[in-house]
Amino acid sequence: MTRMSLGRGLTYLALSLVSFISVFPFFWMIIGATNTSADVNLGKMSFGTALFDNIAHFFSLFDVPRVLLNTAGIAVAGTALTLLVCSLAGYAFEVFRTRYSERLFALFLLMLSIPFSALMIPLFIMISRAGLINTFAGVILPGIASIFIIFYFRQATKAFPHELRDAARIDGLKEWQIFLYVYMPVMRSTYAAATIIVFMANWNNYLWPLIVLQSNDNMVITLIVSSMRSGYNPQQGAIMVATIIATLPTVIIFFLLQRRFVEGMLGAVK
Amino acid sequence: MNRMSKGLKRSLAVALAGVSMFSVTAASAVEVTVWCWSPEFNGAAMAAAAEAYSKINPDVTINVVDFDKGALEQKLQTQLAAGITDDLPDIVLIEDYGAQKYLQSFPGAFEALNGVVDYSQFAPYKVELASVGDQTYSLPFDSGLTVLYYRPDILEEAGYSREDLTGITWERYIEIGKDVEAKTGHKMTSQDVADPGIIRMMLQSAGSWYFTPEGEPNFVGNPVFKAAMTTFQNYLQSDIYKPTSGWNDYTGAFIGGEVASVNSAAWMVGGIKGNPDLSGKWGVVPLPALTGVDGATNYSNWGGSSWYVIATSPEEEKAAAIDFLTKVWGGDVDFYQKILVGQGAVGSWLPAREGEAYSSSDEFFAGQPIWADFSTWLGQIPGVNYGLFTNEADDAVRAQLPALADGANVDEVIAAIDAQVRQQIQ
Amino acid sequence: MRLPNTEVTFLGAKAMAASRLSRGELINGWLFMAPAIVLVGIFLIFPILWSLWMSFQVGRGMNFTFGGFANIVRLTQDPVFQRALGNTILFFVVQVPIMLTLAALMAVALNDPSLRFRGLFRTAIFLPCVASLVAYSALFKSMFADAGLINNALLSLGLISEPIYWIRDPFWAKVLIITAITWRWTGYNMIFYLAALQNVDRSMYEAARIDGVPAWARFVYITIPMLKPVILFTSVTSTIGTLQLFDEVVNITEGGPADATLTLSLYIYNLTFRFMPNFGYAATVSYVIVVAVAILSLAQFYIARDRRKS
């Protein structure tokens, strides 16, 4: 048993070390938010007194609540649509496989590798011709069918017991009902992980909103944070405040959804 | 010529005033959109300009949108390249180094302003860099005049007065640096070892550049480039600086008071003033000069930017944008005082120096009238044509900096830079 | 050792041969895929063909002419491209295996229901990938500065005798970039492994443990085979992510010193947005990434294919 507890001790030690390394930057960010720009540049590692000045400065530059609302709207709508479209496709690519769908899927995977910067100019022309510049739809639409997420759902579906599907069909459920009432609940931890990933990607998306969005009223959080960084003398303290505000929602989403994993674990133990 | 363009300007202004009066009755307010890249600096200055203009013409709304500088360039380049200009703003801020690239890659995208702007009132070098042929496209904005910021307290401790630093050469600067460290323990300056900024300063200070005015690579056989590279190699090997990596590290060293001086641009005043502990402990003199080359001066430029009007904007917006730029940015002395005090923005419109703020002494710089000095020096910066490929050339120079620092043969380094640039610009 | 059920869920899928689908299933299948196919067609395939066409164009700004293979010839003579390609391959070869191994080990450790503070550890390890790029790059620059936290710590521990110039030494800059990507993306990959482990029947582990199978063998013979689809997924996506590496290098080292951390994606960005725009050549460089990813993905699918079939 000592060998066991030694192993356990090492696990705790390793996890604590990794956790510390992972969290440290966030601690540093919070310290930075309380210091003046000059102190942040000097790498001061203790709390300062400039927090309220920094917050005031940030809020004086931008209409922060509006920007957060825009970002949240885009992230929530984009995430919901992506999950629906991609889980349907990922499920179908695995369960209803045909020779043609397999070839199509291989083609899809190949496209995953095109760097976005190579597509930006054609995409911009398309969105612009469609009259979607400076609209949220223009930001959301090109990202909905994410091959990455389709691929993820397909791989996860490989673990979906097909006996469940067979049983549901014997009970007379239609295919869409099986998807809705059997697949979705069973795969909830997959959905939870995908939600985190897709929400995060939408919330932190920068390059494409930058190209599509034009007016101050439609700005998203990544755009205003990055606009604070350029210029000759960026206000580091205020940038830290902005960064914290920009990071918080994804952390909260993760906190809320990670309980799904725990539930899954408890279920397995029973 | 000048009188004619002034007359033109006036008649246009009158016509515009008429137009805008009509538009009041027509209730169709004009909105001019401006893109810029720093909410604290040029964005704030633009907002101040918008306020000043609202008193002249309340029917026009100036809508200022801030981006990241790289982001703005990306957005602009994407839209120009796509050939879709509907969503471009009416006015855009472009950094001077990139001006020729945009003007020549996208002919017809920007409006020539020769007819309406009296360019004799702007610093000549700013006008030259925004000209293609006999057309000039910009309303010149902030100057990147380069100066030597120094700490009188540290230098006096080492036995150097203001006179000892004024109008010196780079050799002398390095000598003083060694002495200062020996006597005070402070490094003379901080240097981002991956940044070729000083090479650019040196080149322009002697009226030369990476490219000839005809656009040919100007490395091999260019005495100024060789002098700059040799001087920069001596400087890199001199150990008078604190080596830094990245912008914050570099600025932190002098803003925080660790080093005794820095060669930087006029826009750095805002950063230096960010540390109130050192108020009254700074001074400014002109930049060190190169030695052994014709046309060497103590004046140069680093960065700086200008406003450009998009030619394809709707006529009404374009007219309003031009009127706004000429009336405020090319005609309002008080406005320039405001942005000088508020943002530390040194404009390149020469009449602005007649204003009160420009002649005032600055307590942070121990009572030195730095703005008056800046505007005197500003007129002496040699004009050069940055050409189309500043970024390509910069990257080629940057790739050779470690070799240069290690003491490589300067001629070989120059040949390598030349080869890479020729390959890149084919 | 018995492997209950896995055969059915993992290999069984293979047994459901394509030909056995009924007409109704076929229709449903294509209907389920339809929204994704339409969207991918419009927003991916079409622009990709467009950029493929551009890669045969030469010229700058808006003046294009058909150049045939001129851009490909140019690739072979371009020293900057070759440096970028070399760096990118190096990052891929070194970084992806390190990160995925770490992610799998941590996922397995955190999947143990008797472990305390699991939620806390999980959140902590995941946090880096939600960090905004601004904070992340500023932090790494400051921590790895000449007189930064890392050097101070290493010096005081006596591990090094003089500071390591992380950002301005070509070798250490590469190490720094690899460290930074690993820091940021390990937790992210761990989430996929954790989610996959939830779908695994725990009774199998219990059975194996009761049979006296040691922990390492359980990891190698149960966990890894069961995670195979997800391992394949993470390795393909990490390959793509590394070959498209951009954010880290542009924000931490700007591709320097002396192009030591310049990647293909950064070079494409430079060609498109920083340099005198040359879209045709930029598109050609991006197809180099496509070809590389295609080869590597095929290799990964090949390695992960089912060997137990025969």
Q: What is the pLDDT of residues B318-340, one digit of tens each?
A: 999 999 999 999 989 999 999 98
Let me know: does A76 contact A249? Beta carbons within 8 Å. no
Whether the CB of A159 is below 8 Å from some CB of chain C: the reply is yes
Q: Checking DSSP bridges between strand B30-36 and strand B60-66, what pairing results, if any?
A: parallel
pLDDT at residue C253 tops 50: yes
Query: Residue A101's domain spans which residues?
Result: 63-218
Categorize the per-residue pLDDT at A215 as very low, low, confident or very high, splitting at 50, 70 and 90: confident
- CA C72 to chain centroid, in Å, comes to 26
Nearest to B76 by CA among B306, B266, B310: B310
Query: pLDDT class for B111, splitting at 50, 70, 90?
Result: very high
The percentage of residues in chain C with a pLDDT greater than 70, rounded to a whole number, is 87
C162 and B CB contact within 8 Å: no
Q: What percent of chain B has pLDDT over 90?
A: 54
Contact C79 B420 (CB under 8 A): yes
pLDDT tens for residues C100-139?
999 988 888 888 778 888 888 888 888 888 776 666 776 7
Angle of CA points C271, C274, C279, to nearest 5°: 35
- Chain A: list its partners (3+ Cβ pairs within 8 Å): B, C
Q: Name which residue leads in pLDDT, A241 or C273.
A: A241
- Average pLDDT in the C11-40 region? 73
The stretch B356-360 carries a mean pLDDT of: 87
Statement: residue A153 has pLDDT above 50: yes
> How many domains does chain A divide into?
1
Rounded to the nearest 5°, which phi and psi values hold at B310?
-75, 125
Is the model more confident about B43 or about B19?
B43
SS3 label, residue B185? coil
Q: Which of A174-183, B15-24, C217-226 shows the lowest mean pLDDT across its residues? A: B15-24
Q: Nearest 10 degrees: CA dihedral of B179, C146, C257, C292?
A: 180
Architecture of domain C74-304: Orthogonal Bundle (1.10)
**B108 DSSP 8-state letter:** T
Residue A226 to residue B252, Cβ atoms within 8 A: no
Whether the CB of A65 is below 8 Å from some CB of chain C: the reply is no
Give the whole-angstrom CA distance, residue B245 versus residue B190. 10
What chain C residue is nearest to A177 in terms of C-alpha separation?
C28
Residue A43 pLDDT grade (very low, low, confident, very high; cuts 50, 70, 90): low
Q: Which residues of B touch A128 (CB under 8 A)?
A: 82, 84, 86-87
Going by C-alpha positions, the residue among B118, B119, B135 that lies closest to residue B127 is: B119
CATH value at residue A157: 1.10.3720.10
pLDDT at B69: 83
The CA distance from B79 to B84, in Å, is 6
Q: Would the pLDDT of A237 be above 90?
A: no
The residues near B186 (Cβ < 8 Å, ≥ 6 apart) are: B151, B154, B180, B258, B259, B260
Binary contact (A231, B303; C-beta < 8 A): no
Closest alpha carbon to A63 in A237, A224, A262: A224
Bridge pairing between strands B261-265 and B145-150: antiparallel
Angle at A58 between CA A55 and CA A62, to 5 degrees: 140
Question: Does B162 have pLDDT greater than 90?
Answer: yes
C174 to chain B: which residues are within 8 Å by CB? none
Asked whether A53 and A237 are in contact (CB, 8 A), the reply is: yes
Q: Among A157, A158, A224, pick the best mutation site for testing chain C contact (most C Cβ within 10 A).
A: A158
**So what's the pLDDT on residue C271?**
85
- The structural domains of chain B, ordered by start, are 2-143+303-354 (3.40.190.10), 145-301+382-424 (3.40.190.10)
Are the beta carbons of B77 and C279 separated by less than 8 Å?
no
Residue B400 near residue B413, CB atoms below 8 Å? yes
Tell me the pLDDT band of C212, cut-offs 50, 70 and 90.
Answer: confident
Q: What value does the mean pLDDT of chain C take?
A: 80
Q: Is the pLDDT of residue B3 over 70?
A: no
Tell me which H or E stretch contains A243.
Answer: helix A236-269
Bond from prior residue into C257 cis (ω within 30 degrees of 0): yes
Examine the pLDDT at B18 and tell me if it is beyond 50: no
Residue with tokens 């030349």: B418
pLDDT given for residue B1 in this prediction? 35
Name residues 134-193 of chain B within 8 A of C (Cβ): 193
Residue A166 domain flag: yes
Q: Which of B63, B78, B270 sits opposite A233 (nearest CB)?
A: B270
Of residues B405 and A39, more confidence is placed in B405
d(CA C58, nearest CA chain A) in Å:
15
Number of CB pairs, chain B paired with chain C, less than 8 A apart? 87
Q: Which residues of C touch A122 (CB under 8 A)?
A: 46-47, 50-51
pLDDT band (50, 70, 90) for residue C15: very low
Q: Maximum CA pair distance of chain B?
A: 74
CB contacts, 8 Å: A93 with chain C: 33
Q: What's the pLDDT score for residue A85?
A: 96
Asked if the structure places residue A68 within a domain, the reply is yes
Q: What are the domain boundaries of chain C?
A: 74-304
Chain C residues with CB-CB distance to A29 below 8 A:
135, 139
Question: How distant is the Cα of C172 from the closest Cα of chain A, in angstroms?
Answer: 19
Question: What are the CA-CA distances from residue A81 to residues A136, A137, A197, B200, B256 (Å)?
Answer: 13, 12, 14, 50, 50
Whether the predicted pLDDT of C20 surpasses 60: yes
| Phi and psi angles of residue B363, each rounded to the nearest 5 degrees, phi first | -65, -35
- Would you call C198 and A189 a contact, using CB atoms and an 8 Å cutoff? yes
pLDDT number for residue C209: 81
Q: What is the arithmetic mean of pLDDT over C213-234? A: 82
Instruction: Report yes or no: B133 at the C interface, CB cutoff 8 Å.
Output: no
Per-residue pLDDT, A27: 85
Instruction: Indicate whether A171 belongs to any domain.
Output: yes
| The two structure tokens encoding residue C35 | 């929204």
Adjacent-strand bridge partners of B308? B92, B138
Q: Does C279 touch chain B (CB under 8 A)?
A: yes
C147 or A191, greater pLDDT: A191
Q: Which helix (H) or strand (E) holds A71?
A: helix A64-95
User: What is the C-alpha to C-alpha distance for residues C229 and C200, in angstroms, rounded to an integer?
Assistant: 12
Q: What is the CA radius of gyration of chain C?
A: 24
Residues from chain A contacting residue B79 (CB–CB below 8 Å): 124
Contacts of C181 (CB under 8 A, 6+ apart): C91, C95, C99, C242, C245, C248
d(CA B322, CA B330): 10
pLDDT at C170: 87
The strand pairing partners of B368, in sequence order, are B362
CB B420 within 8 A of CB C79: yes
∠ CA B16-B20-B22, nearest 5°, is: 120
pLDDT at B15: 46
The closest CB to that of C12, out of A43, A162, A193, belongs to A162
- A121 lies in some domain: yes
Q: Is residue A227 in a domain? A: no
A162-183 mean pLDDT? 88
Whole-Å CA distances, C155 to B54, C25, C48, C163, C225 = 60, 66, 50, 7, 43
Q: State the nearest Cα–Cα gap between C89 and chain A, in angstroms.
A: 15
What pLDDT does residue A42 have?
A: 64
Between A224-228, B161-165, B332-336, the lowest mean confidence (pLDDT) is in: A224-228
| Stretch (H or E) spanning B138 | strand B138-140
State whether A196 and C148 contact (CB < 8 Å): no
pLDDT reported for residue B5 = 44
Q: A200-214, A254-268, B382-396 — which is least confidently predicted? A: A254-268
